[in-house]
Structures are given as structure tokens and as C-alpha cells.
Amino acid sequence: MLRKLQVHLRDTFSVPARIMKTMSVPEGSYERSRNQYNSTRILREILKETPPDAIKILGIVDRDLCIPILTFVFGEAQLGGVASIVALARLRQEFYGLSPDDGILFERLCKEALHELGHNFGLIHCNDRECIMYLSNTVRDVDRKGTTYCGSCDSVLYLKTDPWRVQPWNRR
Amino acid sequence: MEPKVNILIVDDEEIVRESLASWLGEDGYEVAAAENGARALERLPERDWNLAMVDLKMPGMDGIQLMDEIRKTRPETIVIIMTAYATVDTAVQAMKKGAYDYIVKPFNPEDLSMTIRKIIEHQKLVKENLYLRKELKKQYRLHDMVSKNHKMIEIFDLVKTVAKSNSIVLVQGESGTGKELLSRAIHMESPRKDEPFVSVSCAALTENLLESELFGYEKGAFTGADQARSGKMELAKDGTLFLDEIGDISLKLQMDLLRVIEQREFRRVGGTQLIPITSRIIAATNRDLKKAIEEGKFREDLYYRLNVISIHIPPLRERKEDIPLLVEHFLDRFNIEMGKNVDGVAESAMRLLMEHDWPGNARELRNVIERAMVVTKGRMILDADLSLPRPSGVPGAPDSRGKSLAEMEKEHIRQVLQENRWNIIRSAHILGIDRVTLYNKIRKYELKKEPVLNT
């Protein structure tokens, strides 16, 4: 699944993407009282692992994440920064008592990955319900979103990725 | 560009401040944080805060105390109380004291963003409402007068300024334009508003009667003067004396009046004692005084004495935009007076009102509306209820020259529908046709239900 994500991200941003060695979930990030992991702590650890040639780093964690003030988060990103993180736990159908579905999981993962990376590139939440940058607080919101950025977000993103953009891979 | 939304976060925990700030920042809100009540109050004057998220339990000033302080200086800032402890007591207390909402940490992200969105929306609506109301007020109301005409609104502003002084005001305008109403407004806006407003109609009385009416008389001053009587000037005391139709007084009285105004004292008819004038004088006339001076009918020196502050009220035909406003105003009044429930005026009737010239100005309009309200059978005023002279000279008869049969039919059907508030069954009955035929005709002539100008 990570490989598929790599291709998807590369194609979306026209910037090469690389899968890194697996990182173990930082010990100190588990919050027993909430049975969740502190997203901000993990994010900080991820940031430390940023390779020198990377402009952004995205962590995928198969746990349920939270931040102190919210009951849960799907992910977190440094607005205009380098690191971001997406949590799989609540994107899985199992979480809601349904049977596992890799297809749905992957789609949700893509959307949230693009959402958090969007934040890294400086995008804020969008009012367009179909745009990737729409704030999804529930998995229903995630599903309702489209798989692409809306026109205005996309044009901002295009500008922001300009310094690193490479030619499209598939030349037919 | 949407105006920026400013949110102030007040919480003693750094992690709360930071994570809330970054979470809200992702939504495009401008966020600032303060670690306690004192710091928060320091930051209060910095911007127009839309929202303050305040922690309940903080060292020093607690959330509710802070909220009270915020509401003193920034009442438009909405306050949400946050807390890790939910107790019914504190929740109720917070809400009673004016918190918009009360949320428990950790927040459900959907609830939180929904709440904030609602708040922003609410504030937008309030602002819009205020703006619209201000705009409506440009349909200005000054006591009993309404207008949206810019000249009138300037006059209303002038009234407020003028009211504060003691200078004589000369109000000029055609008959029925509201000179007395305006003068009353000046009185009501002045510090004299609790004192008497005494009105004298100078045109109504003969010279002698007017003299005694104004100055009063002593016992035996003339035949019939069995006892002393105070004149209007005395009765006005510290209030306002309104001299209506001053252009109509005799030259002799003009001279007396001039002296009285200059010396600010007078004597009763047949009296010797000098009585001071403590009232403020407002004079009104529908005459062209300049012309009267030329014709030798009005004293120039009196004119200059009176014309310290001059207000010209434009006639109604020069401000036709006021007609619907006045109509609504009168409808409201008469509904109350007559205990009726007339909703408004049909569009075609309003058109007639707008076309009329109104030589009698607002007073004439008022009379027309009053009559219409007495006469109307339904809940709206129709053409037939208005007793306006028709351009064709025949009152009440629709203009039927040069119209084809189809046009006549269309007009007739439209009229009947209008009069019956588009009740199809009733209209069809009156027209002597069946419903289906009527529907067909409506479609054929593309008739539409006309909006009624509602109060």
C-alpha cells in the first residue's frame, strides 16, 4: 500500500517520493489514560528523521492519534512546515465495526495524506466540501471529499511546489 | 476578501494553547494566546476579537471572572468556556453569565469546528443585521417624520443640531409638508422637551384675536375681557412657542412681534407689567416671504430677525421615494387607530400614488390613505379605494381608449384576480367562467400574481 501511495503522491505533486525505512512508534507518545498516541510527540520524532534532500516528510502510523485538546485526530501537519503524520486507525472500516476493506482504506489514506501534505505546503482548510483541504472531522467527511484539490487550492499548491517540480514521468 | 476572524485563547497550559492555536490556524483563523486573565486583558485592545476561548480553572483570575471583564470592554466578543471538568453547576453559571457555549476538554473535533463555525456565522448575521438596520434608518425616522430622501435626512440631522441652541428657527415649505411636525421634532430633541410646546395658528385669527391669543390680556382690556388671561407666549414658559403661518399676520402685528422678539419681553393687552420671554421661538410659513417683502406685505426687518436658522422642507413631489415610506407609516398608524388590519397597498395602487403630484403634500397623502383604509373591503388597498383624480378626468373609470378586446379582457381578468387576492374559484365565479377556462386565460395572458407592498 505504501508503494501505491508513493506513486500517487509523486504523480499529484510532480515531485519524486521515496519510502523510508520503517520507524518504530516512539515509546513516550502513548497516553494510557486515553489509549491513544500523542500525535505532536510522534510528529516531532518524525521531523528529526528528515533526510537532507527531502522537502517534506510524511509519517503513516497504524495507531489512533490524538492531541491534548481533541478527542482524536486523523493526522497532523506543520502548517507551512516539513513534517506531517496520518493515522490509519480511524480510516479502517474495522474501527466502525465493519469488515476490513483495503480499497476504502487506501482511498482514505490518499486523501488524508494529501490533506496533511497540503498543510505542509501552506494550504489552510477549504470551504469546498469536495476539496482535499476540507476539514474532515468524521470519516464520512473524508469519504465525501473528492480525491483532488479544488481549483484555488490546486493553483496555490502548484506555485508552492514550483521549485522542486520535475517533468511528468509518463510521457506517451 | 472575507474579514479575518480573530480568536483569543486563554489557558494556563502551554500545550493547550499551542495545539489549539495550530489546529485553529489550519482553518485560517488568526489566533493569539494568553496564559492568564491578566495577559488576556492586556491583549484585548489589540484587535476586534470575534471569539475568546477561555479556560475555566486558571490561577489568579478564573474563566468566569475573565469573561465578565471581557464583556465590559468588548461586548461583541463571544466567549466559550473550556474546562477539563464538567460539572453542571459551573456550566449553568457560565451560561447564565453570558458564555456562548461550554466545552469539555478534550473536544470532539467535529463539535468544536461546528461550534466555531456557528459563532462566526452568527456574528456575520448580527453585523449584517446591524448594517441593514442602519440602512433602513436611512429611511430615517425623526419622531413622527419618516423619509429616505437625502435632503430630508440632512434636515433631520440639522434638527438635532439646531435643537440644542436657543436661536429662532424659520421653517418654510408648502402646505402639508410637515412644518409643525418638524417643529415638534426640534422641541423633542431639545433640552426643552419636557416643557410645553405651544402652537399658535396665525392665519386663523383676526388681528385683535391673534394679539390677545399671543400676549394674553388683563381684566377689562376690552369688551368681554372679564378676567385676566395668559397668552400663548406666557404659557410657553421655558418650552417652545410655535408660530404657524407667520406670513399671514398683519403688518402691525409684525411690528409688535419684532419688538417683542428683540427685547425678549412683552406686555399683556391692556397690561403694564413687562413679562420676559423664556421660550424658544419657531416660526413657520408656506408663503414665499421674499416675495411678500417685495410686495410690501412682510417686514424685511422681521424676516431677518426670524431667519436666523432657516429650514426648507421640499414638497412631496420632489421626493417621491418617500411616498411608499409614508404610506407604510400611515398604514401602521391607522391600523392602530381604526383597529384594522390592512396589510398593504396593491402594486397598481402604489403606482397611482407615485404618479400623483400631491399639491397637498404629506397631509393630502395621509388623508387619501385614511379614506382608503375606511373604504377598503379587503386587507389591501386597491386602486378603487384611492380617491385620486384620474388623468383622464373621470374618477374611478379605467382608461379604455384604443384597447383591443383581448387587452380589455386581460385587464379585466387581472383586476378581478387582484381584487380577490388571486382566489381562483371566487374570481372565476365573478367572471362567469369555470376554473379551467380561467387557468387557461391566465396562461394565455401570462398573468402573474403581483407582489403586495407589505407593512
Residues with Cβ < 8 Å from A99, sequence gap 6 or more? A93
Q: What is the mean pLDDT of residues B49-53?
A: 91
Structure confidence at residue B304 (pLDDT) = 93
Asked if B110's CB is within 8 angstroms of A137's CB, the reply is yes
Q: Using CA atoms, how far apart are residues B169 and B307, in angstroms rounded to an integer?
A: 7
Query: Which residues in chain A have their CB less than 8 angstroms from residue B12's CB?
Result: none
Asked if B28's CB is within 8 angstroms of A119's CB, the reply is no
Structure confidence at residue A32 (pLDDT) = 82
pLDDT surpassing 90 at residue B7: yes
Residue A49 falls in the annotated catalytic set = no
Reading chain A (172 residues) residue by residue, the pLDDT tens digits are: 788 888 888 888 878 888 888 888 887 788 888 888 888 888 888 888 888 888 888 999 988 998 888 888 899 998 888 999 999 999 999 888 888 888 899 999 999 999 999 999 888 888 888 889 998 888 888 998 888 888 788 888 887 877 777 665 544 3
Q: What is the mean pLDDT of residues B283-292?
A: 92
Q: Are residues B167 and B309 in the same domain?
A: yes
pLDDT surpassing 50 at residue B427: yes
Q: Are residues B310 and B338 in the same domain?
A: no
Domains and their CATH numbers in chain A: 2-170 (3.40.390.10)
CA distance B130 to chain A (A): 26
CB burial class (10 A; 0-12, 13-18, 19+) of residue B30? Answer: middle
Query: Which residues in chain B have their CB less than 8 angstroms from residue A67's CB?
Result: 19, 23, 106
Q: Using CA atoms, how far apart are residues B104 and B117, in angstroms rounded to an integer?
A: 18
Q: Is A60 on the interface with B (CB under 8 A)?
A: no
pLDDT surpassing 60 at residue B399: no
Residues in chain A: 172
Q: Determine the residue of chain B that is closest to A126 in CA distance.
A: B27
Q: What is the mean pLDDT of residues B135-148?
A: 72
| B164 assigned to some structural domain | yes
Q: Are residues B310 and B323 in the same domain?
A: no
Average pLDDT of the residues of chain B: 85
Q: Determine the residue of chain A that is closest to B26 in CA distance.
A: A124
Q: Is A127 on the interface with B (CB under 8 A)?
A: no
Residue B380's pLDDT band, with cuts at 50, 70 and 90, is: confident
What element of type H or E holds B347?
A: helix B347-355
Asked if B106's CB is within 8 angstroms of A68's CB, the reply is yes
Q: Are residues B304 and B322 in the same domain?
A: no
The CATH number assigned to the domain holding B404 equals 1.10.10.60
Structure confidence at residue B369 (pLDDT) = 92
pTM of the predicted model, to two decimals? 0.49
pLDDT in tens, B59-81: 888 888 898 888 888 888 899 98
| B125 assigned to some structural domain | yes
What percentage of chain B reaches a pLDDT higher than 70?
92
Out of B13, B28, B109, closest to residue A124 by CB: B28
Q: Are residues B205 and B302 in the same domain?
A: yes
CA distance B22 to chain A (A): 8
Structure confidence at residue B292 (pLDDT) = 92
Structure confidence at residue B453 (pLDDT) = 52
Q: Are residues B178 and B298 in the same domain?
A: yes
Q: Are residues B281 and B322 in the same domain?
A: no
Residues with Cβ < 8 Å from A109, sequence gap 6 or more? A1, A5, A60, A86, A88, A91
Structure confidence at residue A112 (pLDDT) = 93
Final residue before a domain boundary, out of B275, B293, B314: B314
Query: Which residues in chain B have their CB less than 8 angstroms from residue A29's CB?
Result: none
Least confident of B132-146, B363-377, B406-420: B132-146
The CATH number assigned to the domain holding B361 equals 1.10.8.60
Out of B15, B16, B108, closest to residue A71 by CB: B108
| Residue B436 structural domain | 399-455
pLDDT surpassing 90 at residue B245: yes
Q: Using CA atoms, how far apart are residues B252 and B250, in angstroms rounded to an integer?
A: 5
Q: What is the mean pLDDT of residues B169-193?
A: 92
Distance (Å) of CA B85 to CA B82, B104, B124, B196: 9, 7, 31, 62
Q: Are residues B202 and B273 in the same domain?
A: yes
Domain total of chain B? 4
Q: Which residues of B touch A (CB under 8 A)?
A: 13, 15-16, 19-20, 22-23, 25-28, 105-110, 112-113
| B394 assigned to some structural domain | no
Which DSSP letter does residue B109 get?
H
CB of B149 closer than 8 Å to CB of B322: yes
CA B272 to chain centre: 47
Q: Is the dihedral of CA B234, B240, B243, B244 positive or negative?
A: negative
CA distance B338 to chain A (A): 53
pLDDT surpassing 50 at residue B97: yes
Q: Are residues B326 and B309 in the same domain?
A: no
pLDDT surpassing 80 at residue B267: yes
Asked if B15's CB is within 8 angstroms of A68's CB, the reply is yes
Q: Are residues B296 and B195 in the same domain?
A: yes
Final residue before a domain boundary, out of B388, B411, B438: B388
Asked if B22's CB is within 8 angstroms of A69's CB, the reply is no
Query: Which residues in chain B have their CB less than 8 angstroms from residue A128's CB?
Result: none
Q: What is the mean pLDDT of residues B431-442?
A: 82
User: Which strand ranges, in their side-by-side order, compose the sheet holding B6-10?
Assistant: B30-34, B6-10, B51-55, B78-83, B101-104
Q: Are residues B238 and B369 in the same domain?
A: no
